[in-house]
Amino acid sequence: MKRNGLERIVEAFETSFRSHNSALMPYFTLGYPNLKASIEVIRAIAPYSHFLELGVPFSDPIADGPTIQRSTQKALEQGMTSAKCLETVRQLRSDGIDVPILLMGYYNPILAYGERQFVQDAAEAGVDGFIIPDLPLEESITLGSYATQENLAFIHFLAPTSNSSRISRVIERANGFVYMVGLTGVTGARGGMDSDVETIVRQVKAATNIPVAVGFGISSPEQAVATADFADGVIVGSALLTSVDEDAKDITRAPAEFVKSLWDALRRRSQSG
């Protein structure tokens, strides 16, 4: 029987939990540095990923730092569109990639495409859920309801500045997992994350069984392992994009080695625990 998006996400977390580990969730921009290369990189990192978070390029990615901004701009210059992103997911599924795929993008392209149609087409292509950083909880009811109708996840955010009331509202609406932003500011590699992150993650985990994944600022195996000590998922994006050498003879080698280093570090942590 074909699993729906929410079932695939639950199953992926259960797989990581059985190995006493956090789920590894790499982010990569679709169409960077070109469509063919992005497909090759995604294929190369998939064996070392519990989830794939794939970026839908947009001209004004307000939550993203310079690295992801550059990748999305280059993808747009290569002619990447929302429709091509969905077609790429369909191709990845036909290639046998079976891990959950989450589309990370912004609201304007979805609105231009048509909310209901975008969700339906995404479900048909093999998408399992959506991460829309510029669509706050209060304004996501319509799009979130379309996702629910297709049994897809709609991921909500918490920040280090979130208060108890905000945490409660996010928990009430959460499905798939909660995305905990590791720092105040935009995406990008950092030396560490805000001190309140672990406290909020533990507060959420005490109140619900919904998994919590942490992203923004994680850029090394050491940081991934430290995050896995309290979070159910580890999201890494900018550092992965930085590993891409556009002039390399084998463009997949460095990103695959980087994601494998995170995968191996998390595996060693679970084995030693």
Which residue is listed with tokens 């399992």?
128
- 43-56: b (≥16 Cβ within 10 Å) or e: bbbbebbbbbbbbb
Give CA separation, 208 vs 46, 90, 135, 153, 203, in Å.
29, 33, 23, 16, 9
| pLDDT for 186 | 45
The answer to whether 68 and 238 have CB atoms below 8 angstroms apart is yes
Partners of 28 in beta bridges: 54
Structure tokens at 124: 């048909």
Q: Return the structure tokens found at 255.
A: 């990103």
pLDDT of residue 193: 61
The average confidence (pLDDT) of the chain is 92
Give the residue ranges of DSSP H helices in the chain.
5-18, 35-45, 66-77, 82-94, 107-113, 115-125, 141-149, 164-173, 197-207, 221-228, 238-242, 253-272
**pLDDT for the residue 247:** 86
190, pLDDT greater than 80: no
Residue of 53, 128, 194, 198 marked active site:
53
Reported as a pLDDT band with limits 50, 70 and 90, residue 192 is low
Closest by Cα among 30, 19, 14, 15 to 241: 30
What are residue 30's phi and psi, to 5 degrees? -65, 130
Answer whether residue 195 shows pLDDT above 80: no
Distance CA 51, CA 261 (A): 16
- As a residue count, the chain comes to 273
Q: How confident is the model at residue 184 (pLDDT cuts 50, 70, 90)?
A: low
Let me know if 11 is a catalytic residue.
no
- Quickly count: other Cβ atoms within 10 Å of residue 111's Cβ: 12
Q: Coil, strand or helix: which one is 261?
A: helix
The domain locations on the chain are 5-266
pLDDT for the residue numbered 189: 47
pLDDT at 147: 98
The DSSP 8-state label assigned to residue 137 in this structure reads G
How does pLDDT run across 50-106, given as a tens digit for each residue? 999 999 999 887 777 788 999 999 999 999 999 999 999 999 999 999 999 999 999
The model's pTM is 0.93
> Interior CA angle at 220 toward 217 and 226, to 5°?
80
* Active site (annotated) includes residue 53: yes
Neighbouring-strand partners of residue 134: none
Phi, psi of 7 (to 5 degrees): -65, -40
Is the pLDDT at 213 greater than 60? The verdict is yes
Fold of 5-266: TIM Barrel (3.20.20)
Band of pLDDT at residue 107, cut at 50, 70 and 90: very high
Predicted pLDDT at 1:
58
Mean pLDDT, to the nearest integer, of 124-148? 96
CA–CA separation, 10 and 91 (whole Å): 23
pLDDT of residue 273: 59
Catalytic residue among 7, 14, 64, 198: 64
Percent of the chain with pLDDT over 70: 94
Residue corresponding to tokens 């945490």: 167
